[in-house]
């Protein structure tokens, strides 16, 4: 080891600084100088006592489980008939679906969710919509061959205002 390396490895004195928290004493009001001792005692009696701090109680976790008793309906669409914004009839069922899945799509078609004025979405097999409350689905297609199946799921226990 060279002298330079030895000098670099020598111990350097480092001061250790500690900070102690001051002890906090409970607040006791001091009467202003213009009060007499008698008035100060009356004032102290009139002041409300400090609030009690409740003991810490552990919070038990709330366990939830998804409801598996969900209703669903497979809606079959004949794609050989041309349609323009034709409603599937979900409103007539009296439900509000929370999921819609394209199970089968033999030919191309598009759908709109909840309003015929919303943007069209091209349907593909396996595509799922689960970010909306689905009150109605509107189908648009040219007269082609095959059929399509759309599954809508809803929660029968979900309470909705009427």
- Length of the chain in residues, anyone? 162
Are the C-beta atoms of 101 and 128 separated by less than 8 Å?
yes
Give CA–CA dist 102/41, Å, rounded: 80
Predicted TM-score (pTM) of this structure: 0.57
Question: How confident is the model at residue 2, as a pLDDT?
Answer: 74
Question: How confident is the model at residue 102, as a pLDDT?
Answer: 96
Question: How confident is the model at residue 54, as a pLDDT?
Answer: 72
Q: pLDDT means per 10 residues in the chain (162 residues)? A: 68 62 68 65 78 74 71 94 94 89 95 95 94 93 94 80 57
Question: How confident is the model at residue 44, as a pLDDT?
Answer: 76
**What is the SS3 string spanning the chain?**
CCHHHHHHCCCCCCCCCCCCCCCCCCCCCCCCCCCCHHHHHHHHHHCCCCCCCCCCCCCCCCCCCCCCCCEEEEEEEECCCCEEEEECCHHHHCCCECEEEEEEECCCCEEEECCCCCCCEECCCCCEECCCCECCEEEEECCCCCEEEEEEEECCCCCCCC
């Amino acid at each position: 080891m060279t002298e330079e390396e030895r000098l670099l490895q020598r111990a350097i004195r480092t001061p250790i600084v500690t900070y102690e928290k001051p002890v906090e004493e409970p607040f006791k009001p001091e009467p202003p100088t213009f009060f007499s001792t008698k008035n100060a005692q009356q004032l102290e009696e009139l002041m409300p006592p400090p609030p009690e701090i409740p003991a810490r109680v552990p919070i038990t976790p709330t366990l939830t489980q998804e409801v598996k008793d969900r209703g669903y309906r497979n809606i079959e669409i004949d794609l050989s008939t041309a349609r323009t914004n034709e409603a599937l009839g979900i409103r007539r069922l009296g439900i509000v679906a929370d999921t819609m899945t394209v199970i089968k799509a033999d030919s191309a078609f598009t759908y709109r969710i909840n309003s015929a004025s919303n943007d069209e979405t091209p349907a593909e097999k396996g595509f799922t919509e689960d970010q909306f409350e689905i009150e109605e689905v509107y189908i648009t297609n040219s007269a082609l061959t095959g059929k399509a199946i759309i599954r809508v799921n809803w929660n029968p226990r979900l309470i909705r205002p009427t």
